Amino acid sequence: MSRRRAIYVGLLIGGALVACGGVRAQQTQPDPTRATNAAGDEPLRRLDPSTLAGGDYGGTEPAPLAGGDYGLTSPTETDTAVPGPALIGDPLASPPGGAQPRRPEPPDFRADEEAYAPTGVRAGAFILRPSLETAGGYDSNPLRDPGGGKSSPFYRLRGVLDAQSDWERHEVTVKLDGQIRRYTDLPSPGYEPNLSAVVDGRFDVTRQTQITSQLRASLTTPRRGDPDTPTNIKGDEVDKSIGATLGASHAFNRLSFKVEGLVDRYLFNDAKLQNGETLDNSDRIYNAYEIRARGAYELSPALQPFAEVAVDTRDYDRTIGDDGRRLGSSGYAIRGGARFEATRLITGEAAIGYGRQTPKDNDLKPVDGLIFDADVTWSATALTTVRLNAQTSFQETTLDGAGGVLERTAGVAIEHRLRRNLILTGRADYARSSYRGIGRMDDGLTLTLEGEYRLNRTLSMIGSFQHERLDSNLPGEDYKASIIEFGMRVRR
């Protein structure tokens, strides 16, 4: 255990040094293309589930727990000699509650959008893009009660800060995201805080060799209706995590390799119950260690096949859980796929493979299955953008008799511009959670319609309607909920 802790501390220190090492890089003159790139990136920022007006209603927790890829940008023209970050998520490094796949780099968009696109704020060698949202709405079933439950109005406040270095070499990007939401008519309501911080660093040793790192931390409130979260909690049940990734990549002409090590610690606070008792969550705290390697070959600038392998272990602070099971697991994942660009209108990445997560308790069944991951963007017309995504992940669970959860998600998001400053976004997300060993199967569906009316570069009016439902093969676990929300967004 001491060796693992030494590795954990070493990765944290190494990640911090690499993330901050670029500060000594030579600062360039302000790049006039930054504002154009920001405008081009806008459609895919909105297609990201975390940027919808409804906040985190989509049923997944904020991504930057483990996963290593969240928050990275696709490689620029100066980085083509080395492999870029994966667009699709890592099945072993997915955080509790699932992970969201990354968005690919978008194509160039129309110049007339720049009249309503935020330009960012220059602060020394960094470009800052802050935003603030305030909204109010109504939820028909905030507790996700199978019987319908009591409806309630709510209010929500969210702030985001993106920062990116503007250097000739090396790169540091920072993403800070925080949100609270409070229901006004519920007994003992909490503020449902969701906070995350991700710092990515890239140190260009040579044109062919790079060292990459990531530091990440989060504080989240579990989604209501989650099978691992009791329904009689008073206030908020808060989960926390901290982690680091350290990696290196090198290119031999068209052949490239990348190796990364990930360390994450997941913390679960004890929860207060409505009857005054305290729920002990100490048997849920664990450390996750992972090593993954990826090799790719560039057949052409538009096609890059790759193969990837990852192994991990999850060690709990406690050896035995409250239910008597032996805690912990280890696993592996193998997949192959390709990054592609078809006619510059269709870009993305897709992979297929196999994974297995085996509990340390021999009485529990392992979680295994086919892996399919994809993240594809299609610029259907000058006014319409479509994004498809799919992801497979292997999750831990506290349910008695379950060895783990095989979670598959798929989604489609369509954005259409009615005018330069009037945007509609429709989204459909599907998730299937298979609890191995107890036969439980949950199917979740979320349908969302969002609108944004931009008054100028800075101020927007936002609104959304969402319908969420869960169908389970266990009686008394199904629920439905509809949410409507209106608010305002301020950006720079």
DSSP string, 420-460: TTEEEEEEEEEEEEEEETTTEEEEEEEEEEEEEEESSSSEE
For residues 163-170, average pLDDT: 93
pLDDT higher at 382 or 91: 382
Cβ neighbour number for residue 41 with a 10 Å cutoff: 18
Percent of the chain's residues with pLDDT above 90: 61
pLDDT at 264 over 60: yes
Question: Residue 81's pLDDT is what?
Answer: 44
pLDDT higher at 17 or 284: 284
Question: Residue 78's pLDDT is what?
Answer: 36
Question: Residue 26's pLDDT is what?
Answer: 41
Dist. CA 318–CA 3, nearest whole Å: 18
Q: How confident is the model at residue 14 (pLDDT cuts 50, 70, 90)?
A: low
Dist. CA 182–CA 152, nearest whole Å: 10
The domain locations on the chain are: 2-491
Q: What is the pLDDT of residues 21-30, one digit of tens each?
A: 444 444 444 4
Question: Residue 229's pLDDT is what?
Answer: 76
For residues 88-112, average pLDDT: 51
pLDDT at 59 over 70: no
pLDDT at 10 over 80: no
For residues 64-82, average pLDDT: 35
For residues 279-285, average pLDDT: 87
In 348-379, which positions are buried (b, 16+ CB within 10 angstroms) versus exposed (e)?
bbbbebebebbbbbeebbbbbbebbbbbbbbb
Question: Residue 476's pLDDT is what?
Answer: 85
Q: Worst-scoring range by mean pLDDT, 85-99, 213-227, 298-312, 458-472? A: 85-99
Question: Residue 19's pLDDT is what?
Answer: 46
For residues 12-39, average pLDDT: 45
CA-CA-CA-CA dihedral for 416, 430, 485, 41, to nearest 10: -40
pLDDT higher at 127 or 91: 127
pLDDT at 202 over 70: yes
Q: How confident is the model at residue 101 (pLDDT cuts 50, 70, 90)?
A: very low
Q: Worst-scoring range by mean pLDDT, 23-37, 316-330, 350-364, 452-466? A: 23-37
Dist. CA 398–CA 285, nearest whole Å: 11
Question: Residue 309's pLDDT is what?
Answer: 97
Q: How confident is the model at residue 138 (pLDDT cuts 50, 70, 90)?
A: very high
Q: Worst-scoring range by mean pLDDT, 109-113, 114-118, 129-133? A: 109-113
Cβ neighbour number for residue 87 with a 10 Å cutoff: 26
Could you tell me the maximum CA-CA distance found in the chain, to the nearest angstrom?
A: 65
Question: Residue 94's pLDDT is what?
Answer: 63
For residues 425-451, average pLDDT: 96
pLDDT at 38 over 50: no
For residues 258-273, average pLDDT: 91
Q: Worst-scoring range by mean pLDDT, 318-322, 429-433, 449-453? A: 318-322
Question: Residue 84's pLDDT is what?
Answer: 59
Average pLDDT across the chain, whole number:
82
User: In this structure, are residues 227 and 248 in contact, taking their beta carbons and an 8 Å threshold?
Assistant: no
Smallest Cα–Cα separation from 290: which of 97, 18, 90?
Answer: 90
pLDDT at 105 over 60: no
290: Cα within 13 Å, side-chain hemisphere: 26
For residues 417-440, average pLDDT: 95
Highest CATH level, class, for 2-491 = mainly beta
